[in-house]
């Protein structure tokens, strides 16, 4: 993709944007640096907008020449190329949001993506792989805790299961975010959308965290979950969510559970186990910090066994 760079910014500006003038280039830079605060959203939207701008440049289109027909044609191309509907919707959302930012900045007279409809995609059951309670216990028990990595990994997985927390929130915690209030210990999580969320620590997670922190030397500052050094000891750097993902894949395969489980599996596993033991959707929603109970319901797999039982009634 042919790109131009702003003189005072390291952010590359696609030619399709730069050709619309310096003001459009600055507005583009502001969109990704000042308007989008979440780094994961910024990265996803940058990929989506970058791909769209490359497509525009191949057809001689710049920002000022965009129209609903062109954007609709791009959406159809993504679908024809086999891109999943949720991903196509995300790409369209990125384009629509950028164009809207250009409108409010006086670059475009109207948003050409506003009238473009994305593919219909209705989800009533999430696709996140879920472990049964016995499989989750088998995974935790399979971890060799005679090593520093084992103690850390067991504590990390337990926190994700028992607090329904996203991996980014868990690896983003500092030591001070595991704190005592009264007789209970709590976790302070920075969840999606900048949402501050506190949840009591389950006694098993507390046990695993305490053993891990003892091996860490009971620090009072710094990241809670640390990356390992080349000598396989704890360093001072924070464990990244990518390394946590790779760890989960390795641990799952070693436990004989395959490589399908991922970090989000433990969020869904914890919610399902909670509901199987009589918990309510409202309670799960509060623990998971979901805005809507419909989102929580996507993680509920308690009906899986019921469905299987009903299917087995078809005796032919």
Same-domain status, 72 and 139:
no
Question: What is the phi/psi pair of residue 290, to 5°?
Answer: -85, 145
Structure tokens at 28: 């583009």
pLDDT of 128 reads: 77
pLDDT for res 76: 95
- Give the tokens for residue 297: 């319901």
pLDDT value, residue 10: 46
Q: Is residue 86 part of a domain?
A: yes
Q: 227 with 235: CB under 8 angstroms?
A: yes
Residue 187 lies in a domain: yes
Strand residue runs (E) in 56-203: 178-181, 184-191, 195-200
Q: Based on the domain organization, do 94 and 144 belong to the same domain? A: no
Check which CATH number belongs to the domain holding 176 and give it: 1.10.443.10
Joined together, the tokens standing for residue 182 give 């009264």
How many domains is the chain partitioned into structurally? 2
Distance separating alpha carbons of residues 279 and 295, to the nearest angstrom: 16
Q: Is residue 109 part of a domain?
A: no
Q: Residue 61 sits in a domain of what CATH number?
A: 1.10.150
Which are the contacts of 6, defined by CB distance < 8 A and separation ≥ 6?
13, 25, 26, 29
Q: Are residues 74 and 174 in the same domain?
A: no
Q: Give the pLDDT of residue 2.
A: 42
303: containing domain: 133-310
Would you say 19 and 56 are in contact if contact means Cβ atoms under 8 Å apart?
no
Q: Is residue 185 located within the same domain as residue 68?
A: no
Q: For every one of its 316 residues, what pLDDT tens digit does the chain have, with 9 covering 90 and above? A: 444 444 434 458 999 999 999 999 999 999 998 888 878 888 899 999 999 999 999 999 999 999 999 999 999 999 999 998 889 999 999 999 999 999 999 999 999 999 999 887 555 555 778 898 999 999 999 999 999 999 999 999 999 999 999 999 999 999 999 999 888 899 999 877 667 888 899 999 999 999 999 999 999 999 999 999 888 888 899 999 999 999 999 999 999 999 899 998 998 899 888 888 888 888 888 887 777 777 777 666 666 555 555 545 555 5
Is residue 123 a part of any domain in this protein? no
Give the side-chain half-sphere CA count within 13 A for 122.
Answer: 1
Domain stops at, among 104, 119, 145: 104
How far apart, in whole angstroms, are the C-alpha atoms of residue 191 and residue 285?
A: 13
């Amino acid at each position: 993709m042919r790109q131009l760079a702003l003189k005072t910014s390291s952010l590359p500006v696609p030619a399709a944007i730069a050709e619309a003038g310096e003001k459009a280039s600055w507005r583009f830079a502001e969109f990704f640096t000042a308007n989008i605060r979440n780094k994961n959203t910024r990265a996803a939207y940058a990929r989506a907008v970058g791909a769209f701008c490359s497509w525009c440049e191949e057809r001689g289109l710049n920002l000022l020449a965009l129209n609903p027909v062109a954007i609709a044609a791009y959406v159809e191309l993504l679908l024809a190329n086999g891109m999943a509907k949720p991903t196509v919707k995300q790409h369209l959302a990125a384009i629509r949001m950028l164009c809207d930012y250009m409108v409010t900045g006086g670059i475009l007279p109207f948003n050409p993506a506003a009238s473009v409809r994305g593919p219909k995609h209705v989800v009533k059951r999430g696709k996140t792989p879920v472990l049964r309670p016995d499989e989750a216990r088998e995974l935790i028990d399979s971890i060799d805790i005679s090593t520093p990595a084992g103690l850390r990994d067991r504590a990390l997985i337990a926190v994700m299961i028992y607090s329904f927390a996203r991996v980014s929130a868990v690896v983003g915690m500092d030591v001070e975010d595991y704190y005592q209030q009264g007789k209970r210990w709590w976790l302070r999580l920075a969840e999606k959308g900048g949402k501050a969320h506190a949840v009591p620590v389950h006694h098993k997670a507390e046990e695993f965290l305490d053993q891990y922190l003892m091996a860490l030397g009971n620090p009072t500052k710094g990241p809670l979950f640390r990356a390992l050094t080349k000598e396989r000891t704890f360093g001072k750097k924070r464990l990244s969510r990518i390394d946590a993902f790779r760890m989960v894949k390795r641990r799952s395969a070693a436990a004989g559970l395959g490589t399908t489980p991922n970090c989000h599996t433990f969020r869904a596993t914890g919610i399902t186990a909670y509901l199987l033991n009589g918990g309510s959707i409202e309670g799960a929603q509060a623990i998971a910090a979901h805005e809507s109970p419909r989102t929580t319901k996507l993680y509920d797999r308690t009906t899986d066994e019921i469905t299987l039982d009903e299917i087995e009634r078809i005796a032919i």
